[in-house]
Amino acid sequence: MKKVKMNERKEEMDTMKGEMNMKIRILTILLAALFLLGLFTGCAGSSTTAATASTTAKATTTAATTAATTEPPEVTLHIFMGGLGPQKDTDEVLGYLEEQVNEYLPNTRFEWTLLTFKEYKEKIHKALAAGETIDLQWFGWKQNLATEIADGNLLPFDPYLAEFGQDILAYYGDAVLDAHRYTDGQLYFVPAWQGLTNVHQNLIVRKSVYDKLTADEVASITKAFVDAEYNPTVEASKGIYDKLELILARAKETGTIGAGARYVDNFFAFNMGDAEWRYSFYSVSPIAHVDFGDDSFTVIDNWDNDQMRLLFETAAKWHDAGYIASDVLSNQNYATAGEDGFVYSIGGVQGMTDPEKVLSEQAGIDLKCIEMGGPDQLVLGVATGEAIPFTAENPARAVQFLNLLFSPEGKSAYRTFIYGLEGKHWEKTTDEDTVNVLGGAGDPSSEWNYGTYNWLIGTSEYIFNTQGASVELYKQYKENEKIAYVQPVLSFMFDSSSVSLEESQVLAVRDEYWPVLQTGSKGVTGWEAYYQEFLAKLDAAGYDKYLAEVQKQLDEFVARTGAKW
């Protein structure tokens, strides 16, 4: 059934292209006639021309529509958006947003389906399977882009960008958009810009523990993380774990350990599409990677390797030493237990001018941040952005709406969607771009009357300066992209459709064994036998077949692109 719909959509697109070409020819003739008429009317036509230009400027986004002044037909855009779900004032805010959009895109109505991230993937797949009209959808880490494209669930942006997406094209430029293209050369996804360099992670430590460290020790912790970048050795990983163990040991010695560590963090970050914790291992699928600098681009099993053996052995030692609580898998209260909670966590501080203040207010205890980052590296924006589902009825208008949110004219509409209404959800303070968010500092909450994440759609360069975020920081992130390292497999997208069964089986095995091994719950005497059992289950799940398919596709990519480190 899906293929039939895709064929129907292709026929519609071909018909639309033909009609569009005819309209362009007619418009060209009309413009030529108007030009000749202007030669005869002279100055008398200047006031009419000025009035027409004024009307057009108000009725269109920057270079996003034709020069015609006739209003477009009324359409209703159906949009699926992930995030926090509906809030108390959602309807009022979205009603005002529609008014703002109609200043530039007349006769555009909206029907929004706002879903929590937890329910998003299941509900949008059900909606698409039922053939529901969805003109634009949020697309992010909950879904695999290559798989959705291969399944025919998405339409390319390319037929619409030249005419309706010129602000998107100008904002990103060819190089960034080309990096997001699928193997067929088409663009199926437009990132919601929040900075396309490494996410700015910090080691967030309870102040009661941080105060037990010397300044030199704090500096050595940052150095261990920086030294491990572009260094895929076990020794580099051990350097990080040794510093984390220093923090835990000092906390235990001084009686401030609380619940200790949640688990041993995976600082190799095999997360498809996400920025890596450290630039030494590059995901080429959700469950496979390659090492930095490996000219053979050999695909590596995510778990049967020396890095994972070190992680699981370290976890077992920490468990037996009391650095990881014995009931960590069953106790759900540690994360919110304040001084009795975890010693440290890893978190993003992107856009925050004073992350320690913001994070401390959110946690209800004093926290300190230790820098983890080194040089910037370009990453794909596939963690969050927008796509056009194959059931779209108004893809051109949807692209016009998305384009508006990347244009200067759309800044106010973007801010309405993110922050809500002036006087009700935010109030200006020192200038037009600086506000006090009435819901609170830091990330928004479903308990707020209104407020959502600034990285869901459009560009975070259009945020307000708030209690916890700075426009200038985002502008700096944009500048950083110009000099960031671009790794050679950045634009590789693995299509798992031929091994989807094996992938799901491997993930099921991982979900069973990973928490136990990562928390060291089997202890020093039991972890290795449990680990071998894990590897045997992965083999039985078809992991070798899966890895072979990843290698095949990666080899084709390297041959096609000439990728080199």
Q: Residue 459: is its pLDDT beyond 80?
A: yes
Q: Residue 66: is its pLDDT beyond 50?
A: no
Average the pLDDT over each of 139-143, 542-546, 547-551 and give the range with the smallest value: 139-143
Higher pLDDT, 329 or 51: 329
So what's the pLDDT on residue 248?
A: 97
Q: Residue 111: count other Cβ atoms within 10 Å of its Cβ.
A: 13
Q: What is the mean pLDDT of residues 315-320?
A: 98
Identify the band that residue 31 occupies on the pLDDT scale cut at 50, 70 and 90: very low
Element (H, E) at 137: strand 136-140
Q: Residue 368: is its pLDDT beyond 80?
A: yes
Average the pLDDT over each of 80-84, 235-239, 536-540 and give the range with the smallest value: 235-239
So what's the pLDDT on residue 199?
A: 59
Q: Residue 318: is its pLDDT beyond 60?
A: yes
Extents of the domains making up the chain? 75-194+381-486
For the chain, percent of residues with pLDDT exceeding 70: 85
So what's the pLDDT on residue 335?
A: 78
Higher pLDDT, 511 or 4: 511
Q: Residue 377: is its pLDDT beyond 60?
A: yes
So what's the pLDDT on residue 279?
A: 60
The model's pLDDT over 393-406, given as tens digits with 9 standing for 90+, comes to 999 999 999 999 99
So what's the pLDDT on residue 278?
A: 54
Three-state SS annotation for 163-184: HHCHHHHHHHHHHHHHHCCCCC
Higher pLDDT, 14 or 383: 383
Q: Note whether 197 and 208 are within 8 A (CB).
A: no
Q: Residue 273: is its pLDDT beyond 70?
A: no
Q: Residue 358: is its pLDDT beyond 90?
A: no
pTM to 2 decimals? Answer: 0.72
So what's the pLDDT on residue 200?
A: 62
Superfamily grouping for domain 75-194+381-486: Periplasmic binding protein-like II (3.40.190.10)
So what's the pLDDT on residue 267?
A: 65
Q: What is the mean pLDDT of residues 89-110?
A: 99
Q: Residue 553: count other Cβ atoms within 10 Å of its Cβ.
A: 21
Q: How far apart are CA 414 and CA 418, in angstroms?
A: 6
So what's the pLDDT on residue 22?
A: 40
The DSSP code sequence of 87-134 is -TTHHHHHHHHHHHHHTTSTTEEEEEEEEEHHHHHHHHHHHHHTT---
